[in-house]
Amino acid sequence: MNGPDLYSDSWRRLRRNRLALAGGLVVVSLFLISFLAPWLAPYDPAFIDVTSVLEGPSPAHPFGTDTLGRDVFSRMIWGARISLKVGFVAVGLATLIGIFFGAVSGYYGGWVDAVVMRFVDLMLCFPAFFLILAVIAILEPSIWNIMIVIGVTGWMGVARLVRAEFLTLKSREFVLAARALGASDRRIIFGHILPNALAPVLVSATLGVAGAILTESALSFLGIGVQPPTSSWGNILTEGKDNISLAWWLSLYPGLAILVTVLGYNLLGEGIRDSLDPRLRE
């Protein structure tokens, strides 16, 4: 099966996967909500109204208000932007680092491969979340620091995937032909092998976005993530924890948002993986 037929078949099989389509709908909805936040949010997410502290859901405030009288619905909508930004920037950084190390390791092999893989093994020895906690505790908590730290500590899986693909592809005929024609290593790596090795990377990145969103929410919940007054689903959950007996809506709505978003990315990632798996072809 050639390239165009392969991708058209994968797209056809992805469209028949209802769970993957449901996940894709969640992802597209998150994009739209993030983009349209200034028009969708009925209130300024930072507006404080001391006369409306901890009001339950009502027509004026569909998701209730928080301890400062801020509209939770508006803060949830703007918090979707934070989740999207963290997910894509962190995973984008992790993917770039993983592609570089994986490509160099798989293409050159020998002692280069040994050194890179031992470094990957060393990074995997540290529990990722506790490493992130340690770094964030040293640095000033900010959205950019969180994205960079999540990205820098999450590239090892991508590196292993890319290395495995390069080990398989570098002995193929098209690579041997390019080398015989005098193509440079850089051209062979980035022009010939890498485009054919991106399918598993795409799946890993899709699943990685869900993990990055979950990590950011956990950090914000612990108070070392996104800092107020910037709204995020994690710091709304923190207020819910402190007022669980008085304001159930502060825990329910951000918790559901995180659950649905992570589930959506996971379903989409699993669907893409299944559609690209040659063992499942008819």
pLDDT digits (tens, 9 = 90+) for 164-208: 888 888 888 888 888 888 878 788 888 888 888 887 888 888 888
Residue 1 has a pLDDT of 47
**What backbone phi and psi angles, to 5 degrees, belong to 233?**
-65, -35
**What backbone phi and psi angles, to 5 degrees, belong to 125?**
-70, -25
Domains, the chain, with CATH or none = 85-280 (1.10.3720.10)
Residue 125 has a pLDDT of 83
Terminal CA-CA length for the chain: 12
Q: DSSP labels for 55-104?
A: PPS-SSSTT-B-TT--BHHHHHHHHHHHHHHHHHHHHHHHHHHHHHHHHH
| DSSP structure class, residue 281 | -
Banded model confidence at residue 2, pLDDT cuts 50, 70, 90:
very low
Buried b (16+ CB within 10 A) or exposed e, 20-45: beebbebbeebeebbeebeeebebeb
Tell me which of 157 and 242 has the higher pLDDT.
157
Residue 222 has a pLDDT of 79
Which of 23-27, 116-120, 124-128 has the weakest average pLDDT? 124-128
Q: DSSP labels for 210-253?
A: HHHHHHHHHHHHTTSSSPTTS--HHHHHHHHHHTTTT-THHHHH
Which has the closest alpha carbon to 79: 209, 222, 248, 261?
261
Residue 97 has a pLDDT of 93
Banded model confidence at residue 93, pLDDT cuts 50, 70, 90:
very high
